[in-house]
Amino acid sequence: MKKTIVIGGMVAVTFAALAGGVMAQQANRPARAEAEMTQAAFVDARVARLTAADANNDGTVTAEEHQAARQAKHAERSEARFARMDSNGDGSISRAEFDASREARAGRGPRAERAGMRGPRGGRGGDRAARMADHGPVVIADARAKAEQAFARMDTDSDGTVTAAERQAVRGERRARMSERRAERQAAPAPMAE
């Protein structure tokens, strides 16, 4: 009986510590979802990745440039992950460092839940490089114009900023359109084979 109470108490303390850590992480994150966003900030955020991927500075991003940028970002993340795990900085990860890293990640929930809405292999929206190869290079000026149009659609009161409420309204409309399209596809009869 005493062992059960002691073990139960230890479990409760562990969960309380994990919950406190998660709450502290969430409190330290910027409140981007609540912040207002100007058109310049919105457009610059959309175009920044393309500009960074444009290796030859010709104003377009080819499939090869996009792939190279993705690989560089992947390598950067891998190096950062290794550095976080190598707590003593000796260039190798001991079993103790590996186990400590694993325990730290365990408190963040199952991997699928952390990943959110992601496509195959953890990437968002499938294979962009293949789509870019089909459609040709991305012209950064065109992407900037599309981002400005997207901002104008979200800025329903035309005050030059988009609030969290405006972003949520746009997301709700987009979800409704997607649901309608999905329902139409499911209701459409299958094409007949000849």
25-57 residue pLDDT tens: 445 444 555 678 888 898 998 899 889 999 898
- Percent residues over pLDDT 70 in the chain: 68
pLDDT confidence of residue 78: 92
Amino acid identity, position 78: S
51 in any annotated domain? yes
- The answer to whether the CB of 25 falls within 8 A of the CB of 17 is no
- Is residue 115 a part of any domain in this protein? no
Average pLDDT, the chain: 77
Instruction: Let me know if residue 172 belongs to a domain.
Output: yes
Q: What is the pLDDT of residues 168-177, one digit of tens each?
A: 888 899 999 9
The residue among 148, 156, 168, 178 whose CA lies nearest residue 34 is 168
**3-state SS assignment for residue 38:** strand
* CA dist 129 → 35, 62, 77, 118 (Å): 32, 9, 20, 16
**Which domain, by its residues, includes 21?**
1-30
Number of domains in the chain: 2
Alpha helices by DSSP H, listed for 86-187, are 95-106, 111-115, 128-135, 140-154, 164-187
Same domain as 23, residue 53: no
pTM, two decimals, is 0.54
Q: Would you say the C-alpha torsion 29, 32, 38, 44 has a positive or negative sign? A: positive
Distance CA 34, CA 167 (A): 10
Same domain, 143 and 176: yes
Kindly indicate the confidence band of residue 104, based on its pLDDT and cuts at 50, 70 and 90: confident
Q: What value does the mean pLDDT take over residues 83-105? A: 88
User: Maximum Cα–Cα distance for the chain, whole Å?
Assistant: 75
